[in-house]
Structure 1
Amino acid sequence: MSIETDPPQLAAPDGLISRSHLGIEPFALYRPGSLADAASMIAAGAWAHAGGIDVAQRLRNGEAAPALVPLCKPGRGSPSGLEVLDEISLDQGVLFMGAAVTHARIETDPLVRTVRPDLADAWRTIGNVRIRSTGTLGGNLMAFDSGYDAAPILAAAGAELIFMEPDGSERRCAVADRPRDRLLVGCEVPLAGRVVYDRSLKPVASVAVGDDHIAIGCAYPTVEVLPDGAANTAAARAALGALPDPTDDVFASAAYRRRVIDVLAGRCLELHTAGAVNGGGLSSDGAYPPDASRSEVIAAAGQPAESLSDDSVDIELRLNGDPFSASTPPSEMLVDTIRSRAGLGGTRVGCDQAVCGACTVLVDGEPTASCSTFAWQSDGRDVLTIESGHMAAAGGLSAGPAAALPTVQQAFAELSAFQCGYCTPGLILTASALLARHPDPDRTTICDWLDSNVCRCTGYLMVIEAVEAAAAALRSPSRPMHGGTT
């Protein structure tokens, strides 16, 4: 599939469109040939790009990037010479997680769930299903947003961050001391210990309690890390009492934040004390689970950095099962490629901030915010839009989320799970991905997957019932859908 005509000029010629992806200023795109190449570019001022949601946000807010350095290739792996960024592995009693590992992978990875299940449990609370499938450990840390979750969780766990200098040497530091202008390779987390994390009162405060540290997010300009944790409760409570005044802003007063910190920290300390001391890293015979040691974090010999282009990038993907190719500016978002170049209008632009879900498409089966995903990130990947339902119904697509799509669409229609319809494509696609992974989800799972798909019309109950009915129909094709499964 290809469209020969060029889409209309999307950027305003007279300057930025406030907080819109249409106003992103042009930038160069470079593919590093090794970790040292990437480290040199980032030290010189280029921006690292892994999941890219925060990069897109900074660009749409008016910042200008001299160049982006992609750390993930199409299909989610790292480019040749940067494979360590995509690793999760054990090495001499520590868990290594690379900077380009996604939140969803940390949440579900068998090794993480075996040796540090507390980290996997904490990670499943981060963001929404689109953020978790696209966002990365490194992107979350290097956004330097005190309201983000990776920094307090890892600081409470006593993690050590590994950076690379332009000359290929390592720099190791605590989470609170991470530099802004260096390439983050990944982090090492001790296997012993446990973290309890509570983000239920964000954006007022979040608290992570580990054996030896307490970390506080949201309440200060940077994450506040205390030197005592659940292993010394008395010292931890004394350190909490000596905290400086939190931020006083539109979200909460300093006094209210202080009260929330005390409540969350007390709750986490109690939960930590009630739970197992060790995170689950040892097998019954006291040995670490077998796994290949991670590779040396050194500058790999590679090709020189490649300039992909200042003006255009050639991409080839499968769009709704058909080949699609285009030449796009580096700054073009996937939503514009789909709507303007492919002429598929079912993918909508809503908040333009990766929050509302109207722009959701499935990239390799994962819900993805197309308003915050550059078109070149989809190169070599499978992209499904709501229009793929017609092909699936005709038998053209018969696997994964596409196979569930016609049934989900029918359930939404029969059970009145939409009104104006603007958010409906994103809801249906997300629900189809959910049912491909969880054929019999309970309501908690359904709400977890759909809670960030904003609908101003239905009240959501009909949506939940439609997903339940579609799940039942997929399990038992002869079962009628009317009435839901309440």
Structure 2
Amino acid sequence: MSAGPEPAPARLASGLISRSHLGIEPFEMRRPDSLADAAAAVADGSWAHAGGIDVAQRLRAGQAADELVPLCRPPTSAGTGLEMLGEISLGDGCLFIGAAVTHARIESDPLVQAHRPDVAATWRTIGNVRIRAAGTLGGNLAAFHPGYDAAPILAAAEATVVVAEPDGTLDRCSVADLPQHRLIVGCEVPLSGQVVFDRSLKPVVSVAVGDQAVAIGCAYAYTVVIPHGATRTEDVAAALAALADPINDAFATAAYRRRMIGVLVDRCLRAHAEPPVLARDDRMGVPATRPASTQEVAPPDARSLEAAPPARSQDVQSPDDVSRDGAGSTTHVEMHLNGEPFAVAAPPSEMLVDTIRTRAGLDGTRVGCDQAVCGTCTVLVDDMPAASCSTFTWQADDTEVLTIESASDPDSANARGDVASILPAVQGAFAKSSAFQCGYCTPGLILVAAALLARHRDPDRATICDWLDSNVCRCTGYLMVIEAVEAAAAALAGHASADSSSGSAA
């Protein structure tokens, strides 16, 4: 299956469509060949692109980027320095987490779980299943958004941010002093300490409490860091009283925010005094298959960019050749779409949802909020849910993409195995449980449920709700959807038992 270089969907004559994937201005692509090259491009105003969801939202909101520097899957080969972006490793008294490491990997990585289980536990609360699968540590920090979660967690953990200067040298700064127009390489998190994070009142306020610092998100235009923590509660109380008035907006008044800051800080201080809760990696379901190496490695600035990289956990392999393209040019993308080869030449600004709907003609993938929130546009990329409305088509190069149409051919799905073989059973369970009304959001719900059951054949209701939290249904209500997932799990368990019995009899 292939599609030619057709133009992107036309815009309205009146101009850009507000808050729409059709309104993204064209941009150039620049794939760096070294850490210094990437740092120089970012210093000159180019946008670093890792997970990319925030980048898509900024472009959709009307901001313009002359050039994007793709860093979402850094190369693993030594000598460029870019490999550091996808690294999790042990250094001198710290845990180094690269900027291109996804939230899902942080919460499930064996090194993080072994040395900072509290950080792994807090990271599991960031976003939803699609955000955690695609979003990255560096992207979260580089957005400079007061409502994002990485900054308060890392500030409370007393982490240090490693940035690259235009000449390739590395520098360090605090989370509160994070400079703009500098390439974030990663963070160094101390191996000792405990962080408790509460985001239950977002977007009003979020609070992270560590041993020696308290960080406040959402309530101000920036993350506020109090240099006193759980060991100095009296100083924390005095610092809270001295804070300036928080934001007064449609979400909450300044007075209410100030009161809720005190409530969450008190709650986190009490939780900090309790025995730490170890992180669970079964909610996200990302297998922790990488060995938990305890090998010590040199800190980033002591490494030679020409030397072989240290032993580490590594993210997925490097992407296809994303060349430096002009604003009117195209990128060549090859993927497997529902099990069949699919090649397309698309503008760098084209979203995956448009490629699927207009080029492949698969309209089961819907456009909803266009903000990576509602889940209507969900597809599976390498068996994990992805927001196709905020995923550029070139990000899907060399991946397996599944849409709801793959459930319509059970024989082919069973032959492919894995998630594809589960989809027909999930779709049948939704039909029998009447877990739909208008059906607009149903394809996304079925795909998320199939991805969940591929990892957990017998999930508890809390895990089901955690995954389905990424998808909004306006008319059905969620009880029937949850029951449909439970019914699909039971059906799959029955098939497995039947197959096992048949094999034994044979």
TM-score band, normalised by shorter chain:
over 0.9
Matching residue of 1:52 = 52
For residues 391 and 295 of structure 1, what CA distance do their matches in structure 2 show?
Answer: 51
Matching residue of 1:172 = 172
* Range with bigger deviation, 60-69 or 7-16: 7-16
SS of match in other structure, 1:274:
coil
Residues 22 and 164 (structure 1 numbering): CA distance in 2 closer, same or farther, change over 3 Å?
same
**Structure 2 letter corresponding to 1:455:** C
Shift of 1:243: 1.4
Q: Are the aligned partners of 1:213 and 1:229 in contact in 2 as well (CA < 8 Å)?
A: yes
Question: Which ranges of structure 1 fall in alignment gaps of 5 or more residues?
Answer: 280-287, 481-486
For residues 301 and 289 of structure 1, what CA distance do their matches in structure 2 show?
Answer: 23
Please list, as runs of the form range in 1=range in 2, the aligned pairs for 1:75-474 lying within 5 A after superposition: 81=80, 82-276=82-276, 290-291=294-295, 293=297, 296-297=300-301, 300=305, 307-310=324-327, 311-395=329-413, 397-474=415-492
SS of match in other structure, 1:200:
strand
For residues 355 and 201 of structure 1, what CA distance do their matches in structure 2 show?
Answer: 18
Matching residue of 2:288 = none
Shift of 1:92: 1.4
Matching residue of 2:282 = none
Q: Are the aligned partners of 2:118 and 2:276 in contact in 1 as well (CA < 8 Å)?
A: no
Shift of 1:8: 6.1
Q: Are the aligned partners of 1:34 and 1:299 in contact in 2 as well (CA < 8 Å)?
A: no
Shift of 1:3: 2.9
Residues 5 and 135 (structure 1 numbering): CA distance in 2 closer, same or farther, change over 3 Å?
closer
Shift of 1:308: 3.9
Q: Does 1:20 align with 2:20?
A: yes
Shift of 1:294: 6.1
SS of match in other structure, 2:200:
coil
Q: Are the aligned partners of 1:192 and 1:278 in contact in 2 as well (CA < 8 Å)?
A: no
Q: Are the aligned partners of 2:9 and 2:22 in contact in 1 as well (CA < 8 Å)?
A: no
**Structure 2 letter corresponding to 1:30:** R
**Structure 2 letter corresponding to 1:95:** L
SS of match in other structure, 1:420:
coil
Q: Are the aligned partners of 1:205 and 1:257 in contact in 2 as well (CA < 8 Å)?
A: yes
For residues 85 and 395 of structure 1, what CA distance do their matches in structure 2 show?
Answer: 36
**Structure 2 letter corresponding to 1:450:** L
SS of match in other structure, 2:16:
coil
**Structure 1 letter corresponding to 2:444:** G
* Range with bigger deviation, 390-399 or 192-201: 390-399
**Structure 1 letter corresponding to 2:240:** L
SS of match in other structure, 2:185:
strand
Listed one character per residue, the Cα deviations across residues 324-346 of structure 1 (whole Å, up to 9, x for unaligned) are: 00000000000000000101010
Q: Are the aligned partners of 2:199 and 2:205 in contact in 1 as well (CA < 8 Å)?
A: yes
Matching residue of 1:285 = none
* Range with bigger deviation, 262-271 or 239-248: 239-248
Q: Are the aligned partners of 2:406 and 2:413 in contact in 1 as well (CA < 8 Å)?
A: no
For residues 366 and 334 of structure 1, what CA distance do their matches in structure 2 show?
Answer: 15
Listed one character per residue, the Cα deviations across residues 85-109 of structure 1 (whole Å, up to 9, x for unaligned) are: 0011101110000000001111111
Residues 78 and 55 (structure 1 numbering): CA distance in 2 closer, same or farther, change over 3 Å?
farther
For residues 342 and 15 of structure 2, what CA distance do their matches in structure 1 show?
Answer: 31
Q: Are the aligned partners of 1:7 and 1:341 in contact in 2 as well (CA < 8 Å)?
A: no
Aligned length: 468
For residues 396 and 6 of structure 1, what CA distance do their matches in structure 2 show?
Answer: 33
Matching residue of 1:69 = 69
Shift of 1:9: 3.2
Residues 25 and 294 (structure 1 numbering): CA distance in 2 closer, same or farther, change over 3 Å?
farther
For residues 413 and 380 of structure 1, what CA distance do their matches in structure 2 show?
Answer: 33
Shift of 1:438: 1.1
Residues 8 and 229 (structure 1 numbering): CA distance in 2 closer, same or farther, change over 3 Å?
closer
Residues 396 and 39 (structure 1 numbering): CA distance in 2 closer, same or farther, change over 3 Å?
same
SS of match in other structure, 2:207:
strand
For residues 255 and 431 of structure 1, what CA distance do their matches in structure 2 show?
Answer: 41
For residues 403 and 352 of structure 1, what CA distance do their matches in structure 2 show?
Answer: 29
For residues 406 and 107 of structure 1, what CA distance do their matches in structure 2 show?
Answer: 30
For residues 103 and 181 of structure 1, what CA distance do their matches in structure 2 show?
Answer: 23
Residues 226 and 292 (structure 1 numbering): CA distance in 2 closer, same or farther, change over 3 Å?
same
Normalising by structure 2, we get a TM-score of 0.88
SS of match in other structure, 1:476:
helix
Q: Are the aligned partners of 2:414 and 2:421 in contact in 1 as well (CA < 8 Å)?
A: no
* Range with bigger deviation, 147-156 or 239-248: 239-248
Q: Does 1:475 align with 2:493?
A: yes
Q: Are the aligned partners of 1:94 and 1:188 in contact in 2 as well (CA < 8 Å)?
A: yes
Residues 406 and 172 (structure 1 numbering): CA distance in 2 closer, same or farther, change over 3 Å?
same
SS of match in other structure, 1:31:
coil
For residues 246 and 77 of structure 1, what CA distance do their matches in structure 2 show?
Answer: 42
Residues 169 and 67 (structure 1 numbering): CA distance in 2 closer, same or farther, change over 3 Å?
same
For residues 323 and 262 of structure 2, what CA distance do their matches in structure 1 show?
Answer: 51
Q: Are the aligned partners of 2:46 and 2:65 in contact in 1 as well (CA < 8 Å)?
A: yes
Q: Are the aligned partners of 2:118 and 2:278 in contact in 1 as well (CA < 8 Å)?
A: no
SS of match in other structure, 1:260:
helix
Matching residue of 1:40 = 40
Matching residue of 2:3 = 3
For residues 167 and 418 of structure 1, what CA distance do their matches in structure 2 show?
Answer: 56
SS of match in other structure, 1:199:
strand
